[in-house]
């Protein structure tokens, strides 16, 4: 059985100084000009480093700057861990001051995404969704359309990250499918699948609500039907930080 871990941090968790960033990471940060982008990037790095450290457990290096999160040429984040030849795979998303990092065994094609649940125009759905996805949105109750739209979009972004392509691919190249009504309460993990370009790949997904957003995560492996939260902690003075390991079959 494979496991996936996830960890979420908010802007308030991120320390003011940059001593926890490695020299390579500090050089990347120095090249980012927009303050908003710098804040998102630092939040993502803080979350990812903590997630990778939590994943490695007792084997993790002591200092946070010994876990580096470096973008590969295609843009996908990769972990480099001092003294470890095969670091875990990860995926990152940040939105509205909240970041999520998902971690999986080395070389797993993993993708995650958080999205706000908000109204979108019909044109958005027409332009970015497949016919099948448009039909799913149309078939959902009016009160759930924003949620279903957010889930389809987030599922797509997760799959496009797992493929390491992002928006270089047409969003209509991947098809998000929900086996049961996606408009359940979402307070626990729910299932969905994503069929990749030309049906060549298929991803198994999980989604849930998270801090007023939806969170999706996909991997190529099928998921266990009953994922369990293994760890959860909150740092009351610095905002929410929680991690969960989800079993995959
Ligand atoms: C992947 C992508 C869809 C995510 O955008 P988003 O939904 O606005 O932002 P999210 O917060 O959910 O995700 C951003 C994270 O995705 C990750 N990411 C970026 N490119 C990625 C790729 N090709 N594969 C996997 N993950 C990627 C990064 O970790 C990034 O955060 P960081 O830059 O702070 O490290 C978008 O960055 C993309 O399409 N990138 C590749 C193509 C590209 O660079 N195009 C230029 C803009 S269209």
Q: What DSSP assignment string belongs to 2-71?
A: EEEEEEEEEGGGS-SSSTTS-HHHHHHHHT---HHHHHHHHHHHHHHHHHHHHHHGGGS-SSGGGEEEEE
Report pLDDT digits (tens) over 60-86: 788 888 999 999 999 999 999 988 899
Q: What does the alpha-carbon distance between residue 92 and residue 47 come to, in Å, rounded to a whole number?
A: 9
Can you give the pLDDT at residue 63?
83
114-219 is a CATH 3.20.20.150 domain: no
Higher pLDDT, 224 or 101: 101
| C-alpha 166 – ligand 1 centre gap (Å) | 6
Can you give the pLDDT at residue 101?
94
Average pLDDT, the chain: 87
| C-alpha 78 – ligand 1 centre gap (Å) | 13
pLDDT band at 231 (very low <50, low <70, confident <90, very high): very low
Can you give the pLDDT at residue 180?
65
| C-alpha 159 – ligand 1 centre gap (Å) | 12
The answer to whether the CB of 124 falls within 8 A of the CB of 187 is no
Question: Domain locations in the chain?
Answer: 2-108+227-248, 114-219
Higher pLDDT, 236 or 140: 140
Atom index in ligand 1 nearest the CA of residue 74 equals 23
Can you give the pLDDT at residue 233?
39
% of the chain with per-residue pLDDT over 90: 70
From the centroid of its chain, how far is CA 232? 17
* Backbone torsions φ then ψ of 138, nearest 5 degrees: -60, -35
Q: Which residues contact 133 (CB under 8 A, 6 or more apart)?
A: 125, 152, 175, 176
Report pLDDT digits (tens) over 172-209: 999 999 876 666 666 788 889 999 888 888 999 999 99
User: Starting from the edge strand earliest in sequence, which strands make up the sheet with 213-219, in order?
Assistant: 111-116, 213-219, 202-210, 190-195, 175-177
Mean pLDDT of 42-71: 90
Residue minimizing CA distance to atom 4 of ligand 1: 166
Atom index in ligand 1 nearest the CA of residue 112 equals 12
Q: What does the alpha-carbon distance between residue 110 and residue 116 come to, in Å, rounded to a whole number?
A: 21
> pTM of the prediction?
0.91
What does the block give as tokens for 63?
């200092």
Can you give the pLDDT at residue 186?
66
Residue minimizing CA distance to atom 34 of ligand 1: 41
Measured from CB, residues less than 6 Å from any atom of ligand 1 are 40-41, 44, 71, 74-77, 92-95, 113, 157, 160-161, 164-168
Q: What does the alpha-carbon distance between residue 54 and residue 48 come to, in Å, rounded to a whole number?
A: 10
CA distances from 68 to 11, 80, 81, 183, 222 (A): 19, 5, 6, 38, 29
Q: Which residues contact 125 (CB under 8 A, 6 or more apart)?
A: 133, 134, 137, 149
Q: What does the alpha-carbon distance between residue 213 and residue 68 come to, in Å, rounded to a whole number?
A: 27
| C-alpha 139 – ligand 1 centre gap (Å) | 30
> Which of 161, 165, 168, 196 most suits a substitution to test ligand 1, by most atoms within 8 Å of the C-beta?
161
| C-alpha 101 – ligand 1 centre gap (Å) | 13
Domain formed by 2-108+227-248, architecture: Alpha-Beta Complex (3.90)
What does the block give as tokens for 2?
């494979």
């Amino acid at each position: 059985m494979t496991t996936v871990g996830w960890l979420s941090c908010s802007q308030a968790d991120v320390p003011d100084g940059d001593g926890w960033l490695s020299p390579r990471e500090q050089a990347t940060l120095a090249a980012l000009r927009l303050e908003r982008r710098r804040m998102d990037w630092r939040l993502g790095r803080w979350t990812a480093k903590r997630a990778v450290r939590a994943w490695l457990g007792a084997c993790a290096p002591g200092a946070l700057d010994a876990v580096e999160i470096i973008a590969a040429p295609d843009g996908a984040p990769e972990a480099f861990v001092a003294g470890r030849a095969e670091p875990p795979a990860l995926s990152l998303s940040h939105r509205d001051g909240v970041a999520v990092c998902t971690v999986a065994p080395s070389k797993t094609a993993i993708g995650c995404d958080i999205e706000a649940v908000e109204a979108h125009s019909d044109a958005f759905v027409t332009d970015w969704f497949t016919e099948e996805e448009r039909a799913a949105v149309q078939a959902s109750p009016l009160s759930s359309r924003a949620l279903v739209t957010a889930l389809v979009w987030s599922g797509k972004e997760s799959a496009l990250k797992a493929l390491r392509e992002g928006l270089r691919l047409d969003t209509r190249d991947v098809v998000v499918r929900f086996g049961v009504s996606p408009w359940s309460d979402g307070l626990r993990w729910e299932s969905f699948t994503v069929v990749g370009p030309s049906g060549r790949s298929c991803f198994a997904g999980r989604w849930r609500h998270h801090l007023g957003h939806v969170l999706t995560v996909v991997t190529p492996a099928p998921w266990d039907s009953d994922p369990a939260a293994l760890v959860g902690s909150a740092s009351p003075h610095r905002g929410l930080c929680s991690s969960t390991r989800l079993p995959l079959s």
